[in-house]
Homo-oligomer: A and B are copies of this chain.
Amino acid sequence: MKISLLLTGNELMSGDTVDSNSAYIAQSLKDLSLVPYIKKVVGDDTPLLVSSIKELSLVSDVLIVNGGLGPTVDDLTALALSQAIGSPLVRNADAYAKLNEWATRRGFVMTESNLKQTNLPEACRIIENPVGSAVGFRCVFNDCLIMCTPGVPSELKPMVENHLLPLIREHGSIEATSHITRLRLFGITESGLQDTVNEVFPNWPADVELGFRVQLPVIEVKFATVGDQFLELNRQWAKKFETHFSDYVIGRDSTRLSQALNNALSEKGLVLTSAESCTGGQIAAAITSEAGASSVFEAGYVVYSNRMKQQSLGVLEQTLIDHGAVSEAVVVAMAEGALEKSGADIAISISGIAGPDGGTDEKPVGLVWLAWGQAGKIHARKFFLPMGRQGFQRTATALAMDLVRREVLGLPTNVDYFSELKKKRIAN
């Protein structure tokens, strides 16, 4: 089965936007054991869209068109499809009903621009968009299933999962069932993982296809088999893998680190508090981005200045003078202060130099101290994360969550993150 992608948008041509949608679609197609045949990207240019749709529909069984569904004049997909397949644009009742419902729910009045989004080629049926205002639409032309999808990644993703894959399966009479197991790991690099697999599992079975996908800060490992006869093999090797990497595995499927942490806290009936300097609230924000966070999190302190570390958390001025804000003594005092002020069971605290400025020879940009634990049992570690301000904050936040997850679950917290895993494991 040949699946082609046609992506549209001037922003994709100018190099200003890196196209992540096609990689997402390609990754998703792996669930059907499919790889795209042709990927074509063009700007907002009606004649070029028309000729591209015609051309790709002739050489493909499925054509996924992405982008150009919005309400503005540079959104040309419906018009181009209409011309390509020779089916006039008409008000689509289903599209209208969906958009009306969407607008009503938000108290919006539909505008002319919105209404434009409900004019679709007569031959098309809609593909529901559970997230945004623009429905997708589909038709069959030249025996090719053409599906038009929104360019906004958060709208595209649920549409791919819920609608595109089933429609492709149906169109292609794909029968062999693929089985996919997904594990999510934190603290290992992709290459470290690959090297370890090569050495620890030299006889990895060819029928269990192993795939890695970096989704910072975690890595997703996918075990794919095609055909029911390999289901047991899939489970068995996924289990071997999980056993080997044990405490690095934070969960299955789409588990986020924040979910894994909240689940661990919830399971043990513990409430966490955070005291953040260099991450400025990102740890608290990650934890509370999860539904149900209120049962495991009540209070967070963002103490960006030395003055606030003293005032909010009772860190002694002398400790700051003697050791500096980025030190073991200060993060331990921050954690103790947060426990005392909030009455929480367990604390995480962090102080580091995110950069770009503020580094010294002794304490360079990228240095970070973390402390965590329950009253009377506070531990601390330092890390060096010289990866730019954004990378520093994101990685430090992830390390903080993972250390608390490990502490709560009684897993080792002195692990070698991101580096020497392979050698250590093999030496053991």
Interface residues of A in 166-207 (CB under 8 A from B): 190-195, 198
Range, interface on chain A? 35 or more
In the assembly, what is the distance between CA of A214 and CA of B19, in Å?
A: 14
Say if the beta carbon of A342 comes within 8 Å of chain B.
Answer: yes
Chain B contacts for A386, CB-based, 8 A: 105-106
Closest CB-CB distance, A47 to chain B, in whole Å?
A: 11
Q: How far is B291's CA from A357's CA once the two chains are assembled, in angstroms?
A: 8
| Interface bits A29-45 vs B (CB < 8 Å: 1, else 0) | 11000011111111110
Which of A82-90, A119-127, A238-246, A277-285 forms contacts with chain B? A277-285
Whether A367 sits at the interface, judged by CB under 8 Å, is: no
- Report the minimal beta-carbon distance from A183 to chain B, rounded to whole angstroms: 15
A37 contacts across to B, CB distance below 8 A: 13, 42-43, 48
The answer to whether A13 touches B40, judged by C-beta atoms less than 8 angstroms apart, is no
Is A298 at the interface (CB under 8 A from chain B)?
yes
Stretch at the interface among A67-75, A227-235, A315-323, A399-407: A67-75
Contact between A71 and B419, CB atoms less than 8 A apart: no
Asked whether, in the complex, the Cβ of A390 is within 8 Å of the Cβ of B191, the reply is no
Among A109-117, A141-149, A371-379, the stretch that binds chain B is A109-117
In the assembled complex, the CB of A180 is this many whole angstroms from the nearest CB of chain B, namely 9
- A30-B14 in contact (CB<8A): yes
Q: Is A382 an interface residue (CB 8 A)?
A: no
Which of A37-67 touch B at CB < 8 Å? 37-44, 48, 52, 55
- Set of chain B residues within 8 Å of A308, measured between Cβ atoms: 298-299, 342
Structural contact, A285 and B291, CB atoms closer than 8 A: no
- Is B213 in contact with A419, judged by CB distance below 8 angstroms? no
A-B residue pairs, 8 tightest by C-beta: A280-B288, A15-B26, A300-B302, A281-B284, A281-B281, A113-B191, A71-B191, A39-B41
- Interface set of A (CB-CB < 8 Å, partner B): 10-20, 22-27, 29-30, 35-44, 48, 52, 55, 70-74, 105-109, 111-114, 131, 152, 190-195, 198, 210-214, 274, 276, 279-285, 287-289, 291-294, 297-305, 307-308, 311-312, 341-342, 354-357, 384, 386-390, 393, 418-420, 422
Q: List 25 A-B contacts (CB under 8 A).
A: A15-B23, A15-B26, A15-B29, A17-B213, A18-B23, A37-B48, A39-B42, A70-B190, A108-B419, A111-B195, A113-B192, A279-B288, A280-B285, A280-B288, A280-B289, A280-B297, A280-B300, A281-B281, A281-B285, A293-B304, A294-B304, A298-B304, A298-B307, A299-B304, A302-B302
